[in-house]
Amino acid sequence: MAREGRKLLAVIEGESVFPPPIWIMRQAGRYLPEYRATRAEAGGFLDLCYNPRLATEVTLQPIRRYGFDAAILFSDILVMPDALGQPVRFAEGEGPLLDPIRLDEVGRLDPSRIDAHLAPVFEAVASIRAKLPAETTLLGFCGAPWTVATYMIAGRGTPDQGPARRAALSDPEGFQRLMDLLVEASVRYLARQIEAGADAVQIFDSWAGVLDDLEFGRWVVEPNRRIVEGLRALKPEARVIGFPKGAGAMLEDYVSRTGVDAVGLDWTVPLSYARDRLQPRTAVQGNLDPLRVILGGRPMEEGIDRILAELGQGRLIFNLGHGITPDADPETVGRLVERVRAARR
């Protein structure tokens, strides 16, 4: 089995494990009272991300409470533009805010700032790994270039990321320069996380689903492929999970062309499609609807059981189809973990 008996890493590396390993996107977050207390101590959200002691603490909180098979570094995908020189701030009730960047301003972004600016993140990774149980996989992550670029151009999240889509269609050469810079920066960032102790990394492409198939190939598949290739050139042992949310029928192309070791599935992906078309090629991760966790009881139990029945014969990492929401009940999450771990083939 993989390093120190880490079940989740074993699945990524080719084993089928049942009951499957489990973690939950945004498992360190506002639904936990202990997180809210630590967040209040930190002050601002980015202050929490850049404080190695507090970032370590919130990363470990769900591991202590639930014993998940993986911990994921507590940080944010937008530390990248912040490190490049496009300051990010988080306004209460508004989410992330940036001063929108024009494509003719990309040259003022500075990748050489990454190591120094994100040093607290690498320190947190090392601290987390030192304090985790030996059998727990540690995941690092970054935002995919397309998703990060959507925030950089619009200055905030928008319903359909129209500003970035317009920029990519009207000035593809200028948009390519931004994507090239983000690919280079992401490779460097993930390699440093692996050096600090991450066992594997996840690339979050949360806005992949707003693109047509042609643009998806250019702005999602190709940048993710280059990150995987560039990271493995630096760190041949690197293991990568890709999460192109909303990719739908384009998931097969994403998996085959990027070379990811596992693919995250949102809750709209049919389980039969995942079983027949994706699992023979790679490990799959997901994909319980977060709303089922809010409801708990029969809706959650039926969702869990169906995923295990359809995907449990192959390489599966049990997770949600997106991040857990702040209104989730911690006790319900505990029951989710118990039901997955009590499953039998």
Active site residue 277: no
Choose the catalytic residue: 36, 65, 76, 257: 76
Confidence check: pLDDT of 1 > 90: no
Largest CA distance in the chain: 57
CA nearest 282: which of 329, 315, 244? 315
Active site residue 254: no
Alpha helical stretches, state H, 197-279 = 213-216, 222-234, 251-258, 271-273
Choose the catalytic residue: 6, 26, 129, 226: 26
Choose the catalytic residue: 6, 31, 35, 39: 39
Lowest model confidence (mean pLDDT) among 93-97, 301-305, 321-325: 93-97
In the structure, what pLDDT confidence band is assigned to residue 345 with cuts at 50, 70 and 90? confident
**What is the residue type of 83?**
A
pLDDT tens by residue, 40-54 = 999 899 999 999 999
Other C-beta atoms within 10 Å of 155: how many? 16
- pLDDT (0 to 100) of residue 185: 97
307: three-class secondary structure by DSSP: helix
Distance CA 55, CA 304 (A): 30
Q: How far is CA 38 from CA 42, 49, 57, 60, 165, in A?
A: 6, 11, 8, 12, 37
Confidence check: pLDDT of 5 > 90: no
Mean predicted lDDT score pLDDT of the chain: 96
- pLDDT (0 to 100) of residue 68: 98
Over pLDDT 90: what percentage of the chain? Answer: 95
Confidence check: pLDDT of 286 > 90: yes
Active site residue 212: no
Burial of 93 per CB tally in 10 Å (0-12, 13-18, 19+): exposed
Confidence check: pLDDT of 3 > 90: no
Distance CA 254, CA 220 (A): 8
CA nearest 325: which of 287, 294, 298, 288? 294
Domain 3-342 has CATH 3.20.20.210: yes
In the structure, what pLDDT confidence band is assigned to residue 212 with cuts at 50, 70 and 90? very high
In the structure, what pLDDT confidence band is assigned to residue 197 with cuts at 50, 70 and 90? very high
Joined together, the tokens standing for residue 189 give 């960032």
Q: How far is CA 278 from CA 130, 184, 307, in A?
A: 34, 28, 14
Confidence check: pLDDT of 2 > 80: no
Alpha helical stretches, state H, 269-327 = 271-273, 290-295, 297-311
pLDDT tens by residue, 236-280 = 999 999 999 999 999 999 999 999 999 999 999 999 999 999 999
Active site residue 39: yes
In the structure, what pLDDT confidence band is assigned to residue 235 with cuts at 50, 70 and 90? very high
Q: How do the domains of the chain map onto residue ranges?
A: 3-342
Choose the catalytic residue: 31, 35, 66, 151: 151
- Rounded to an integer, the average pLDDT of 68-94 is 94
Tokens 């189809």, residue located: 321
Active site residue 226: no
Confidence check: pLDDT of 92 > 80: no
DSSP assignment of 170-189: H-HHHHHHHHHHHHHHHHHH
Confidence check: pLDDT of 283 > 90: yes
In the structure, what pLDDT confidence band is assigned to residue 91 with cuts at 50, 70 and 90? confident
pLDDT tens by residue, 143-179 = 999 999 999 999 998 989 999 999 999 999 999 999 9
